[in-house]
Chains A and B, each alone.
Chain A
Amino acid sequence: MASVVFQDVVKMFGTFTAVSDLNLEVRDKEFLVLLGPSGCGKTTTMRMVAGLEEVTAGEIFIGSDRVNDVLPKYRDVAMVFQSYALYPHLSVADNIGYPLKIRKVPQDKQRQMVMEVARRVELDGLLDRLPKQLSGGQRQRVALARAIIRTPKVFLMDEPLSNLDAKLRVQMRAELKHLQHELQVTTIYVTHDQIEAMTLAHRVAVMNKGVIEQLGTPKEIYNDPRTLFVAGFIGSPPMNLIDGEVKDGVFTSLGGVRADGLGSANVASAVLGVRPEDIHVLPAGSETANIVAPIYSVELTGESTLVTLRAGAALLTVRADKNFVGDFDQMVEVGFAPGRVFLFDRQSQDRVDF
């Protein structure tokens, strides 16, 4: 059990900067998710903790130990790979017991621990099988069992759920969260799936192009995005981002969106952000409407209806009541929830507070 600290960490591949000037503290027993699109440096960051990539500059600490030049085997971390990386020539039992065998744990103790862990992840009937005789979900469990058989200082998980089908993924997600809570081991989890990040993490670090755009609890990231990238990346369906300009606190877009109450802000190239659930359909003739626009499509998702409006060149998604009825090209008036509108500067990509 330990914290993981990154101090000014840089990773270059040749002339390409994969991670630049990373400063991050993963607290003891914390479940931290590194979230970002592919190529953002999140996996590289994790591999540097494991010791599979060398650090170009800066320092990494696990607990109080500086681990920059420490071999993976001495770092006391366990890793679950995206591909699971099960040893194909070893049985399930030998796969799970491998970390113990390497550490020369006595045979009978090994067998006992393997049984224990296998029962925990419901693999106890499959110990003699080879990896190729298992389903995807079972392989995932073997990889997990191999990681938790000894209690490492840090768990590293590299998109462990991405190869599972949708239903299994939701189930394993809950199991993972429960497991981490039970074991109380510091966990760094890499994913590009924002729902995984929101549901699993104590804190999320949103990464883009090798830097952390924002670090915070899922709630903070969702309710208080500090940059345009974070605003657009988190949420499903994503936040509506409308280009326009702000003059004396009034936003106008070419598509006919108008919003006031933005303080006294003045931004030449502004982006207005508002989440689909913060837009409400208003009765016809309402004076407070932010836009009146024709319906582009209507999708019933079950618990709500997603209404897409055409606002000039842009599309605006509204999460409406599940009983909403509307036809293509029908004009709809919508209003933004007060205080739930964000303003960004297109140039700097940063939030503009008002």
Chain B
Amino acid sequence: MAHRRKSIGIQRIAAYATIAAALVVTLFPVYWIAANSFKYDIDIFSIPPQWIPANPTSKHYHAAFVERPFLIYALNSLIIAVSTTLVSVVFGSLAGYALARFQYPGRWRYQISFWILSTRMMPPIVTIIPLYIAFNHLGMLNTKPAVIIAYTAFNLPFATWMMKSYFQDLPVELEEAAMVDGDTRWGAFLHVALPLARPGLAATAIFCLIISWNEFLLALILTLTERSQTLPIGIAGRVTQYNTYWGEISAAGFTACIPIMIFAFVVQKHLVRGISFGAVKG
């Protein structure tokens, strides 16, 4: 008896130690950026490291958001990320539903699904030169729509697949019941399938938002000025030929984390599965 209790205690300690280690690895960089953003330049490099800012200052925030156009970069990021997410979730739901529910001859359901996913199999960098040339011809370089289109092209396949699997998990009788009750297929999708797929919509939206918010490579090539440049590009721009402005980078970087954290926090409760529990069976 005593032996068993002791082994459970050890297991628990091991579990908490592992969790603690994981938390340190993931959270410390965030903390370090936050701490550095409030330090004077001299304190950022002090040895031994200054764990807590000794003389907190907001000068880097002033430099980034008042003297430099980081507010505009942030606005660009917001417009691009939100538009991409909206388009991806809307079309991803429609395509995912079609793949989950409609009849296809032979193996076409699989073929189409696979083809959609296959567009994500090459590294994005492969497409950069063709994209650059295409947008150049269209006169769309250094515009937000160009970035939105490029991001949507990369998010839509995943959004489609995620929504497809969510719809496949929903009992099909619910939509059949709605159709017998007087709905069209579209009505059944809108009134029954979509509300029940809310956890899936939330997960897909977070996924698309994070990807577009953080994306660097495509934005670097397709944007040129603050007309369309996003936060990651703006931040990278503070590494200059003569100096690296760590304080400003930290201030902008930490600020960039906050919207995603808030969004993830808000939709977190929708991520919990099991909303369809109770739909079928006694």
Binding site for B on A (CB under 8 A): 50-52, 71-73, 77-79, 81, 83-89, 98-99, 102-103, 130-137, 139-140, 146, 156, 163-164
* A73 with B277, Cβ < 8 A, contacts A52-B176, A88-B196 known: no
* Chain A residues whose C-beta falls within 8 Å of the C-beta of B281 in the assembled complex: 83-84, 136, 163
Q: Which residue of A lies closest to B276 (CB)?
A: A88
CB–CB B282/A163 < 8 A: yes
- Residues B182 and A103 in contact, CB atoms below 8 Å apart: yes
Task: Identify which of residues 153-181 in chain B touch chain A, using a CB-to-CB cut-off of 8 Å.
Answer: 171, 173-174, 176-181
Find the B residue at minimum CB distance from A52.
B176
Is A73's CB under 8 angstroms from B173's CB?
no
Chain B contacts of A131 at CB under 8 A?
Answer: 278-279
Minimum CB–CB distance for A84 against chain B, Å:
6
Collect the chain B residues with CB atoms within 8 Å of residue A99's CB: 181-182
Instruction: Report A-chain residues with C-beta under 8 Å of the C-beta of B180.
Output: 50-52, 72-73, 77-79, 156
Tell me if B237 counts as interface (CB < 8 A to partner A): no
In which size bucket is the chain B interface?
A: 20 to 34
Task: Report if A102-B182 is in contact (Cβ < 8 Å); known contacts: A79-B177, A89-B196.
Answer: yes
Q: Could you say which residues of chain B place their CB within 8 Å of the CB of A140?
A: 282
Besides A50-B180, A71-B184, A140-B282, 19 new A-B residue pairs in contact (Cβ under 8 A), listed by A number: A71-B179, A72-B176, A72-B180, A73-B183, A78-B181, A79-B177, A83-B280, A83-B281, A85-B279, A87-B279, A88-B277, A102-B187, A103-B182, A130-B278, A132-B277, A133-B278, A135-B282, A146-B181, A156-B180
B178: A residues at CB distance < 8 A: 87, 98, 102
The 5 closest A-B pairs by CB, nearest first: A136-B282, A132-B278, A83-B280, A85-B177, A88-B279
Please determine whether B278 and A102 come into contact, CB atoms closer than 8 angstroms.
no
A72, B278: Cβ atoms closer than 8 Å: no
The docked-state distance in angstroms from the alpha carbon of A103 to that of B174 is: 18
A86 to B279, CA, bound (A): 5
Report the Cα distance A317→B279, complex, angstroms: 43
Instruction: From B173, B184, B276, name the one whose CB has the most chain A CB atoms within 10 angstroms.
Output: B173
